Amino acid sequence: MRVLVQRVNYAKVEVDGKIVGSIQKGLLLFVGFTNGDSSKEIDWMINRIINLRIYEDENGVMNKSLNEVGGSILSVSQFTLYADASKGNRPSYIKAMPGEQSIKLYDEFNTKLKEKNIHTETGIFGADMKVSLLNDGPISIILEK
């Protein structure tokens, strides 16, 4: 499982010209799964994301987590996180989990985030999505389990 975490002032995702998910201050998550991923990876990843200390404290030191600043999450499925561009110019996506399997894990991931009392919005799995954001920092971190 890979997640690209971006600290944002705002983010939104549109499908067919309609906003399907949007947040203000929080984290934009691009979420990808590979073969063998399970609930175990999801639980680890959620714990890591919500406790990641990437917000400034009163001294300007990145020492606060999403929960401590009351931030939200916008979760967007992203199979291209498992692109392999090591050969040729066309990336291979063979390491990405097939859609019919990864949609179940993606739904579980988002459900578990909401169960942690974090305001969580999502894109639409498999849709052609347009994502807009204002990266704060910029802070972008890749997490992998």
Q: State the angle between helix axes of 39-51 and 99-115 in degrees (0 to 180), rounded to the nearest 10.
A: 40
Q: Is 78 a catalytic residue?
A: yes
Residue 80 known to be catalytic: yes
DSSP for 38-94? Answer: -HHHHHHHHHHHHH---EE-TTS-EEE-HHHHT-EEEEEE-GGGG-B-SSSSS-B-T
Q: Is 33 an active-site residue?
A: no
Q: Which of 33, 79, 109, 122 is catalytic?
A: 79
- Which of 54, 71, 69 lies closest to 119 in space, CA to CA? 71
Catalytic residue among 78, 109, 120, 122: 78
Instruction: List active site positions.
Output: 78-80
